């Protein structure tokens, strides 16, 4: 051991004793946000503060539609709706295959096809005065269409329209009820009327027009 190291060793006991003589608070966990107290809300905010979700996902929860339709729209936009392409990815065997049942184009039933590209869906959107510029990302399609449409309650109309298309598709598959533009219009209008109570009376004429 060198002379310098030995001299430092001789000073070590006195340094330890000086630490014992001082008073220190007990160690405690301190969280570096808010007031230093842990809450799940603060942790969630910290975890996702730099994440910006697509705007249509926020529009869903601000809309006036019923919760079941909002949840359906959320499944659609995040790619979790059980269309046949999703069932195929989950290895669900369908004897009738995975093509769209709403048209005769022999195309895989995906959310993009079923709700926007299918000739059956296109006819229903045309009845509402909407023509889609289809893109791979449905959220981008919604953002562009909302800008060009400029109609109030656009997100509600979108969600109700896709909801009634989905119900029509399911009626055809499970109840053997043939789809038609007339029956879809009646279902769409009935659904809109159910939502009128969720809208202030002063704004209801906008919906009815």
14-37 pLDDT, tens per residue? 877 776 655 666 777 777 766 777
At 53 the three-state DSSP class reads coil
Task: Give the pLDDT band (50/70/90) at residue 208.
Answer: low
Average pLDDT over residues 182-199: 89
- CA distances 49 to 40, 45, 62, Å, are 14, 5, 20
Kind plus residue range of the DSSP H or E element containing 11: helix 3-21
- Look at residue 17 in the predicted model and tell me its pLDDT: 75
58-117 pLDDT, tens per residue? 999 999 899 999 999 999 999 999 999 999 999 999 999 999 999 989 999 999 999 999
37-62 pLDDT, tens per residue? 778 888 888 888 888 889 999 999 99
- CA distances 117 to 36, 114, 131, Å, are 52, 6, 10
């Amino acid at each position: 051991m060198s002379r310098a190291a030995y001299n430092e060793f001789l000073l070590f006991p006195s340094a330890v004793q000086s630490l014992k003589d001082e008073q220190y608070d007990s160690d405690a966990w301190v969280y570096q946000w808010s007031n230093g107290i842990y809450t799940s809300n603060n942790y969630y905010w910290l975890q996702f503060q730099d994440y910006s979700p697509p705007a249509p996902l926020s529009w869903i929860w601000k809309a006036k539609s019923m919760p079941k339709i909002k949840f359906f729209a959320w499944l659609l936009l995040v790619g979790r709706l059980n269309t046949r392409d999703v069932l195929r990815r989950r290895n669900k065997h369908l004897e009738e295959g995975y093509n769209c049942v709403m048209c005769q184009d022999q195309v895989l039933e995906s959310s993009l096809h079923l709700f926007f590209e299918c000739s059956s869906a296109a006819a229903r959107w045309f009845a509402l005065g909407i023509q889609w510029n289809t893109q791979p990302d449905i959220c981008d399609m919604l953002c562009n269409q909302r800008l060009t449409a400029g109609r109030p309650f656009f997100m509600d109309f979108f969600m109700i329209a896709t909801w009634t298309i989905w119900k029509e598709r399911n009626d055809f598959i499970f109840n053997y009820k043939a789809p038609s533009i007339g029956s879809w219009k009646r279902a769409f209008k009935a659904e809109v009327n159910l939502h009128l109570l969720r809208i202030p009376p002063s704004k209801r004429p906008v919906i009815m027009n």
